[in-house]
Amino acid sequence: MKALALPIFVALLCVALPVFAEEDLFDGTKPLLCASVEAIDCDPGVPCERGIPEMMGAPQFLRIDFAKKEIIGPVMTAKINMMQKTDEQITLQGYEMSLGWTVAIERGTGKMVITFAGVDTAYTIFGACTSL
């Protein structure tokens, strides 16, 4: 009986895995925890600087609460003014501290890019998100 149990378990696992893989963790309904990994700081007329987000004043972790339409950081909370979903990504936009910002999250992987733009500066942060 034990010899038959393993092949049955493997067969059931093969049938169930596609169901689990199709679950959309990044569908814009579940809260996310996002980690920033790399940042780029650009000003007109000078080369852009690359570094880690903390050195440029960006938080290492953010929480995205889609229900409350908020992005929560360790120091401040930003209101999400616009959210758009496509099959490929979720895009969030807002405005804080004289900067317009956009967060793009790839729905298949959770990879994230945040951009901030002001009159004479631009920041880009690369990172990834996971559901809570």
CATH number (domain holding residue 127): 2.40.128
Summarised one tens digit per residue, pLDDT across range 65-92 is 999 999 999 999 999 999 999 999 999 9
Residue with the larger pLDDT of the pair 10 and 34? 34
In a domain, 28, yes or no: yes
Mean pLDDT of 30-37: 96
In a domain, 104, yes or no: yes
Q: Which two tokens stand for residue 66?
A: 């889609």
In a domain, 7, yes or no: no
Residue 59: closest CA among 114, 119, 122: 114
Task: Give the domain range for residue 57.
Answer: 24-131
Mean pLDDT score of the chain: 85
In a domain, 53, yes or no: yes
Q: Is the pLDDT of residue 11 over 50?
A: no
Q: Is the pLDDT of residue 20 over 90?
A: no
Residue with the larger pLDDT of the pair 48 and 18? 48
In a domain, 2, yes or no: no
Summarised one tens digit per residue, pLDDT across range 86-130 is 999 999 999 998 999 999 999 999 999 999 999 999 999 999 999
In a domain, 4, yes or no: no
**Which amino acid, 116?**
F
CA angle 21, 127, 63 (to 5 degrees): 80
In a domain, 62, yes or no: yes
- Structural contact between residues 32 and 8, judged by C-beta atoms closer than 8 angstroms: no
Task: Name the domain count of the chain.
Answer: 1
In a domain, 32, yes or no: yes
